[in-house]
Structure 1
Amino acid sequence: MKALPVSGEILPIPDPRVFAHVDTWIFDLDNTLYPHTSRIWPQVDERITLYIANMFGLDGLSARALQKYFYHKHGTTLRALIDEYDIDPYDFLDFAHDIDHAGIELNEHLGEAIEKLPGRKLILTNGSRKHAENVARKLGILDRFEDIFDIAAANFVPKPDRRAYETFLEKHVVEPARAAMFEDIAKNLTVPHEMGMTTVLIVPQTADPFREAFEQEAVRTPHIDYVTDDLARFLKDGLSL
């Protein structure tokens, strides 16, 4: 496990005092609560490409290119399709998340670590509640969380848009200065840090061939307090649970 403070000095674990003030623990879902080797996100990504292909009558390569254009311009493909084509977002989410969960393994160590965290535990995801529930249930951690804030709860405004975080904080009455955010994409931690949250970037232990480099880079910037490639150990050892 590597935990890197923004200074760049490598530490085996974070100082537990850094998190002594935290009473709300906020977790992204995909590629944060499970490793990329579970092959969950590649399936979702492929389903989104298929949705685009079916919608526009495109071949696979063209659909993929359009999907990535939408993603980079709007933050998510779904946001683009809502804004530009007024699609039914629930149909899209049901289609995108119709996947096989067999690759997810029960993670007792993660469940125990999350359970021992003092205070509230919440999931904040750009996916659907159903998807989050299915994944968390397979991991054996669903009952560790107070609630799931999904893309529908955010009025289909995705992270890293500030409005998504503001809606989340208001709905769940969270004081950002007393919260910690765990996320696998560095840019999604910019706003949480600006709001006062302690931020932890989750990176893969091995390179994920199905994601772009910027989505898994262990970047060191002022808006990232710590970087780790082992969430369960970070929580357990780093916070002295």
Structure 2
Amino acid sequence: MTQIPESSDFAGIRNWVFDLDNTLYPHHSNLFAQIDTRMTAYVSELLELPRDQARVLQKELYREHGTTLNGLMVRHGIDPDDFLQKVHDIDYTHLAPDPALGAQIRTLPGRKFIFTNGDRGHAERTAAQLGILDHFDDIFDIVAAGLVPKPARETYDKFTALHRVAGADSVMFEDLARNLAVPKALGMKTVLIVPRNFEPTFAEIWEQDADKEDDVDYVTDDLAGFLTAVNPAAAKA
């Protein structure tokens, strides 16, 4: 499933596609935990449920519909704009800027994209806090996807049609193996981002995606370090 990356393996890559949450920033920063908490609160308030019951339902919606938002839209017809605004009303200041990551992304050859199940505002605020926003050519968010989340094939089709991203000159970085199945089928290289030192929470995530092992070419818990290893510009420095 995994290989030690060589810069030559990525010499032909011209399209670099990154998921956002728990990918461009490390899992241990707990930024997404704030969103997760707000989603539980949203479900609790919407359905007048105790927090523990709302939490169980939220996770059920996520498993069955790809995102909590999609599940709430299907089952309860909620306003997606209201949901996205409320769950992304979080504190970004605890997320540390990552100049090492920024330096690598900036010098990658070709185009760079953020492809997220979150919304553009959240992606922009997160990337700005990390100090990497200006290094991307575009952000493809859940609104651009017609509110249909990854891993739905139609969402990737919209992204690839818009930006002509597919094939052997492209790579996708993700923290969920299930979201790498379509990119792999499109001929892209795939990189799974895991929590630092494979923290215990990762075991639960991987158990849900164990059947996607063949869709993962590389695994790393250090995105900046991985990019340093495969970035032709870094090799020449």
Tell me the distance in 2 between the aligned counterparts of 1:114 and 1:104: 18
Tell me the distance in 2 between the aligned counterparts of 1:99 and 1:81: 20
SS of aligned partner of 2:139: strand
The CA deviation at 1:238 is: 3.2
Give TM-score, length-normalised by structure 2. Answer: 0.92
Q: Is the 8 A contact 2:28 2:195 kept in 1?
A: no
Q: Percent identity?
A: 48
What per-residue deviation string (whole Å, max 9, x for no partner) do you get for residues 108-135 of structure 1? 0000000111000000000010000000
2:91 to 100, 110, 128: 100
SS of aligned partner of 2:56: helix
Query: Are residues 1:80 and 2:71 paired?
Result: yes
Matches within 5 A, 1:212-223: 213-214=204-205, 221-223=213-215
Q: Which moved more, 1:216-225 or 1:79-88?
A: 216-225
1:229 to 200, 221, 226: 221
What letter matches 1:233 in structure 2?
G
Classify 1:156/1:208 alpha carbon distance in 2 versus 1 (closer, same or farther; 3 Å): farther
What per-residue deviation string (whole Å, max 9, x for no partner) do you get for residues 72-109 of structure 1? 10010111111222211111000010001122111000
What letter matches 1:53 in structure 2?
S
SS of aligned partner of 2:215: coil
Query: Are residues 1:62 and 2:37 paired?
Result: no
SS of aligned partner of 1:221: helix
Q: Is the 8 A contact 1:127 1:150 kept in 2?
A: yes
**Equivalent position of 1:115 in the other structure:** 106
SS of aligned partner of 1:135: helix
Q: Which moved more, 1:198-207 or 1:54-63?
A: 198-207
**Equivalent position of 2:149 in the other structure:** 158
Give TM-score, length-normalised by structure 1. Answer: 0.90
Q: Is the 8 A contact 2:39 2:58 kept in 1?
A: yes
Classify 1:178/1:214 alpha carbon distance in 2 versus 1 (closer, same or farther; 3 Å): same
Q: Is the 8 A contact 2:101 2:224 kept in 1?
A: yes
Query: Are residues 1:41 and 2:16 paired?
Result: no
The CA deviation at 1:201 is: 0.5
**Equivalent position of 1:137 in the other structure:** 128
Tell me the distance in 2 between the aligned counterparts of 1:130 and 1:230: 25
What letter matches 1:67 in structure 2?
Q
Q: Is the 8 A contact 2:106 2:135 kept in 1?
A: yes
More helix by share: 2
Q: Which moved more, 1:108-117 or 1:31-40?
A: 31-40
**Equivalent position of 1:3 in the other structure:** none
Q: Is the 8 A contact 1:200 1:228 kept in 2?
A: yes
What letter matches 1:16 in structure 2?
S
What letter matches 1:161 in structure 2?
A
The CA deviation at 1:168 is: 0.6
The CA deviation at 1:207 is: 5.0
What letter matches 1:92 in structure 2?
F
Q: Is the 8 A contact 2:92 2:126 kept in 1?
A: yes
The count of aligned residue pairs is 232
Classify 1:205/1:217 alpha carbon distance in 2 versus 1 (closer, same or farther; 3 Å): farther
Q: Is the 8 A contact 2:28 2:196 kept in 1?
A: no
Matches within 5 A, 1:154-233: 154-206=145-197, 213-214=204-205, 221-233=213-225
Tell me the distance in 1 between the aligned counterparts of 2:73 and 2:199: 29
Which structure 2 residue ranges, 5 or more long, are not aligned? none
